[in-house]
Chain A
Amino acid sequence: EPEVTQTPSHQVTQMGQEVILRCVPISNHLYFYWYRQILGQKVEFLVSFYNNEISEKSEIFDDQFSVERPDGSNFTLKIRSTKLEDSAMYFCASSAGLVPDTQYFGPGTRLTVL
């Protein structure tokens, strides 16, 4: 069964450093998403991406964040200058279409900012 994959599974970085989180969505999906989940808190939407551009973003997704689909398979989330409060699980998801099409989630990348 097709699945969303994410790398790395765990990333440790120093405050102020740039990180890139990588995702390979399901191959025939057209919509891509990033969510994050701070330990013990709700899953929070960051951004959605369709047709090579951002379609929606939350207040969390400020100028420090960017997304890219550099080739036909990868979808990346870049955090330019990490802060302590960026420590969280970051989940990538993809869907074939808009609601009610299902969003399928990857296993997540645990980002720890020291």
Chain B
Amino acid sequence: TQLLEQSPQFLSIQEGENLTVYCNSSSVFSSLQWYRQEPGEGPVLLVTVVTGGEVKKLKRLTFQFGDARKDSSLHITAAQPGDTGLYLCAGAKDSNYQLIWGAGTKLIIKP
């Protein structure tokens, strides 16, 4: 069974704090994507990581793909209320067309 486990499921912090969200699996993925989803809307892609150990930065967001391509993390520096949302990771495997999804981390940044 290919599962992606995200942690924490829910995180509420103050504006200005740093946070890290994790996406873990026992399976190897050829690529992993991070999405953000607002209520009642479709997931919006933030980043795709492909190479083991890869680090990508998107302003205050830093994404890392584990060396073994089984896990990934999303680190937000100096979180802002605008970062509030549901963050989803989704993995793809070479042999499949489908994306395997995590359950998401619901993030609330309080002003």
- The answer to whether A binds B is yes
Which residues of chain A have a CB within 8 Å of any CB of chain B?
A: 4, 31, 33, 35, 41-45, 48, 50, 55-56, 58, 89, 91, 98-100, 102-108, 110
- Please state if A107 and B99 are interface contacts (CB–CB under 8 Å): no
Name B42's contact: one of A41, A50, A55, A107 (CB within 8 Å): A107
CB of A91 within 8 A of CB of B98, answer: no
Of A31, A45, A56, A100, the most chain B CB neighbours within 10 A belong to A100
Chain B residues within an 8 Å CB radius of A35: 99
Other-chain contact of A99, B41, B92, B102, B104 (Cβ < 8 Å): B92
Bound-complex Cα distance A9 to B40 (A): 10
CA–CA, A44 to B90, complex, Å? 11
Proximity string of chain B (26-47) to chain A, C-beta cutoff 8 Å, 1 when within and 0 when not: 0000110101000011111100
C-alpha gap A48/B92 in the complex (Å): 13
Given contacts A33-B98, A55-B97, A56-B96, is CB(A105)–CB(B31) below 8 Å?
no
A42-B103 in contact (CB<8A): yes
- How far is the CB of B9 from the nearest CB of chain A, in Å? 12
Q: Is B84 an interface residue (CB 8 A)?
A: no
Contacting pair A48 B97 (CB below 8 A) = yes
Q: Pick the residue among A43, A89, A98, A102 that contacts B97 (CB under 8 A).
A: A98
